Amino acid sequence: MAKDPVCGMFVAESEGSLKATVRGTTYYFCSETCLASFMAPEIELRRIRWLTVLSFALGIPTLILTWIPLTIPAIPTPILLFLLATPVQFIAGSRFYRGMIHALRARTSNMDTLIAIGTTSAWGYSAMVTFIPGVLPEALYYEVAALIIAFILLGRYLEHLVRRKASDAIRKLMELQPSTARVVRDGVEVELPVEEVVVGDMIVVKPGERIPVDGVVVEGLTSVDEKMITGESIPVAKEPGKEVIGGTINLGGMIVVRATKVGADTTLSQIIKLVEEAQAAQAPVERLVNRVASIFVPLVVAVALASLAIWALLNGDTLRGLTSFIAVLIIACPCALGLATPAAIVVGTGKGAERGILIKGGEVLERAQRIDAVLLDKTGTITKGVPSVAEVVPLNGFDEENVLRLAASAELGSQHPLADAIVRHARKLGLELVWPKSLEELPGHGVSAMVEEGLVLVGNKTLLERNGVDPKGAEPEVERLESMGYTVVFVAVNGTLAGLIGVFDELRDGAVEAVSRLRQMGLRVLMVTGDNERVARAVAERVGITEVLANVKPQDKLNVVKMLQQQGLRVAMVGDGINDAPALTQADLGIAIGSGTDVAVESGGIVLIKDDPIDIARAITLSRLTMRKIKQNLFWAFIYNTALIPVAAFGFLNPILAAIAMALSSVSVLTNSLSLKTAHL
């Protein structure tokens, strides 16, 4: 079964099903109405508005003439009522017949089936009384058929308005994409459709213009407004070598950008695709709705027929039986039930996308709201992941400058973040560095390099001990540095401990607030890191974390998640989406933070474009709020159907009131979901 992306009802994925393929994704529809709404929403909105006006323009006079008959010599009142109601039934109501016929061909049923049967029964009974008098008890229900269609169309019109507002996020994202780009070809600027831009093209972007595709600045200085993509309100400075995202606005000077991602590969396209897939995906809570919906319509028809039979055959009241039959069919249309979950998911995921929080569907929302522990990777989540040298401690006759120069020279060929920090600091101080004659990297320990002065070891205590260097004399300084949260790098030259380098990874601005908010939400917050216990505790203490898992190698984070799950915890793992991929996948909820332009990471159920830790709390809060709306919607939709069907069956509900109630139920579910847009995260 597939879910109709418009009304949320479930339909069979068969050959005869109505379907459409958009950007490589196939969508199935319960009726031509929903298909038209999906493919051309503005045209369909105008069409429904016109049909609604027509229905009320003819339906209200029908009601008036039913209760206050007018004497027109040439036209009897029943004939006049027939002439007024018939265009409503077969012009305004034609969409319900088309939907019913299509459902019957697919050997299924939908809400159009109930509406078509109900209104046709009222109109058909009235027509028989009008043209074949004496066969049936004298009563006319033209106004019932006409106003049922009128109110249902009014409900559809209001649904379209609310749904359009609910899907604002996707529409706004689509509107960010410029239609053209100013490309330099053979030394000449030409304006091309953005679809014709290829990787490697040089694109000129003037102040105030949107950047057409992802790329790298090769010329010019500027600042860029990335708010609509990342949620970051402060403009971001850009210079040659910096990445820019397609769809963002160039606020400063003119820049030249080399295209690196085009078409479906751009960040904006990936975000739109991810959000569309999330909004179309079925949440586990919908499985129950799916099962109910598959038997609901036939069951309702059976109840309606039973009500008609009981009133007509047992009580001899055919007219009341007919009104009960119609009222049951109309009141039971499962629109609200079908909209309950997808409406909230569309608004929730859309709101997240506006804030740079990408949630991959309803299943992720359900898992997120059940989380009771959050495991934060220290590097890149709590800290910025860009270490810098805080202090150099010379030992055994070496001076500070020599220790730093020798260590930086030895690290020149290394790609390790700590090596990069040492080299950057040495160059910042203007030290002259010499490439090592030989370099051996020892993963997890450091480097061994041959420089002009001899053999230089740069790394941890284990590296020195394995090479016969005794680091014990430096223990007091090591303790002091580690108690400050510094990672200690040992430097030895020709077998002598030359000094220590304290490297500090700065805390992210929102780390303290993020941890505080997570704890206020009732979540256990733990930190995992490869640092030793002393350094880990120092960092954790600064952000308010009391539970620390230290000395954990990257490949062992998966086991840490399993260990916590074995303790009965439902764990959210927060990491970078690449190095932490196995742990993110194992966790009950994986949150990939700071993905930037790489929004398509597979391992994160939630992808945070920015590297702001506050977004972790916001993502979980949004998930909880969305699931709360889903539960509220399902509760009221279920109560509405179960409470009012018996009322209709026992003859206490006028069919016109049933149509009004049915329309209002759908609008109320959508409106309740829409309130998520103003929720504080």
pLDDT at 358: 85
**Least reliable range by pLDDT among 76-85, 227-236, 325-334, 484-493:** 227-236
pLDDT at 292: 64
pLDDT at 598: 57
Dihedral, 122, 124, 126, 128 alpha carbons, nearest 10:
-150
Cα–Cα distances (Å) from 403 to 100, 439, 503, in that order, read 83, 18, 14
User: Please, which pLDDT band fits residue 600 given cuts at 50, 70 and 90?
Assistant: very low
More reliable by pLDDT, 573 or 73: 573
Classify 48 as helix, strand or coil: helix
Cβ pair 459, 442 in contact under 8 A: yes
* Mean pLDDT value across residues 136-149: 83
- pLDDT exceeds cutoff 50 at 231: yes
Which of 14-28, 99-113, 590-604 shows the highest mean pLDDT? 99-113
DSSP secondary structure code for residue 508 in this structure: P
- pLDDT exceeds cutoff 90 at 389: yes
> Domain coordinates of the chain in residue numbers?
2-30, 40-176, 180-264, 343-382+508-617, 383-506
Residue 171 structure tokens: 């529409």
**Least reliable range by pLDDT among 100-104, 217-221, 246-250:** 100-104
* Mean pLDDT value across residues 601-612: 77
Question: What percent helix, strand, coil does the chain show, rounded to 5?
Answer: 55, 20, 30
* Mean pLDDT value across residues 431-444: 87
More reliable by pLDDT, 325 or 39: 325
* Mean pLDDT value across residues 386-400: 91
- pLDDT exceeds cutoff 70 at 121: yes
Of 377, 531, 576, 612, catalytic:
377
More reliable by pLDDT, 337 or 72: 337
* Mean pLDDT value across residues 418-442: 90
* Mean pLDDT value across residues 385-391: 88
* Mean pLDDT value across residues 169-181: 76
- pLDDT exceeds cutoff 80 at 670: yes
- pLDDT exceeds cutoff 70 at 502: yes
Which of 383-387, 489-493, 657-661, 676-680 shows the highest mean pLDDT? 489-493
pLDDT at 2: 64
Per-residue H/E/C for 609-625? CCCCCHHHHHHHHHHHH
Cβ pair 369, 623 in contact under 8 A: yes
pLDDT, tens digit (0-9, with 9 covering 90-100), for 350-365? 888 888 888 887 788 8
- Per-residue buried b or exposed e for 278-297, using 16+ beta carbons within 10 Å of the residue's own CB: bbbbbbebbeebeebbeebb
By C-alpha distance, which of 222, 191, 219 is closest to 207?
222
Q: Which CATH class is domain 383-506?
A: alpha beta
How far is residue 89's CA from residue 145's CA, in Å, rounded to a whole number?
7
Architecture in CATH of 343-382+508-617:
3-Layer(aba) Sandwich (3.40)
Residue 541 structure tokens: 């203490």
**Least reliable range by pLDDT among 126-135, 378-387, 411-420, 596-605:** 596-605
377 catalytic residue (yes or no): yes
- pLDDT exceeds cutoff 60 at 349: yes
pLDDT at 322: 87
How far is residue 649's CA from residue 502's CA, in Å, rounded to a whole number?
79
Residue type, 641: N
pLDDT, tens digit (0-9, with 9 covering 90-100), for 452-467? 889 999 998 889 989 9
How far is residue 669's CA from residue 341's CA, in Å, rounded to a whole number?
9
pLDDT at 17: 65
Cβ pair 413, 439 in contact under 8 A: yes
Average pLDDT, the chain: 84
- 209 C-beta neighbours (distance < 10 Å), count: 16
Q: Which class for 584: exposed (0-12), middle (13-18), buried (19 or more C-beta within 10 A)?
A: buried
Residue 220 structure tokens: 């010019």
By C-alpha distance, which of 161, 153, 163, 159 is closest to 50?
153
Q: Which residues pair with 501 in a beta bridge?
A: 392, 489
pLDDT, tens digit (0-9, with 9 covering 90-100), for 544-564? 999 999 888 777 888 899 999
Residue with tokens 């014709």: 196
Going 154 to 158 to 161 to 166, the CA torsion angle's sign is negative
DSSP secondary structure code for residue 91 in this structure: I
Residue 423 structure tokens: 């080299």
Cβ pair 145, 88 in contact under 8 A: yes
Cα–Cα distances (Å) from 552 to 377, 532, 543, 613, in that order, read 10, 9, 19, 21
- Rg of the chain over CA atoms, in angstroms? 34
Q: Is the pTM of this model over 0.85?
A: no
By C-alpha distance, which of 36, 58, 32 is closest to 46?
36
pLDDT at 327: 86
- pLDDT exceeds cutoff 50 at 274: yes
Residue type, 177: Q
* Mean pLDDT value across residues 490-518: 92
Classify 137 as helix, strand or coil: coil
Cα–Cα distances (Å) from 282 to 28, 345, 515, 528, in that order, read 13, 10, 32, 33
Residue with tokens 């039971």: 332
How far is residue 433's CA from residue 401's CA, in Å, rounded to a whole number?
11
How far is residue 97's CA from residue 510's CA, in Å, rounded to a whole number?
57
Cβ pair 421, 503 in contact under 8 A: yes
Q: Which CATH class is domain 180-264?
A: mainly beta
pLDDT at 281: 62
Residue type, 428: K
- 237 C-beta neighbours (distance < 10 Å), count: 11
Q: Which class for 391: exposed (0-12), middle (13-18), buried (19 or more C-beta within 10 A)?
A: middle
Dihedral, 92, 93, 97, 98 alpha carbons, nearest 10:
30
How far is residue 100's CA from residue 334's CA, in Å, rounded to a whole number?
15
H/E run at residue 97:
helix 94-105
Long-range contacts of 544-551 (CB under 8 A, 24+ apart): 544/512, 544/515, 544/516, 544/519, 545/376, 545/382, 545/515, 549/375
Q: Which class for 511: exposed (0-12), middle (13-18), buried (19 or more C-beta within 10 A)?
A: buried
Q: Are strands 524-528 and 373-377 parallel, antiparallel or unpaired?
A: parallel
DSSP secondary structure code for residue 584 in this structure: H
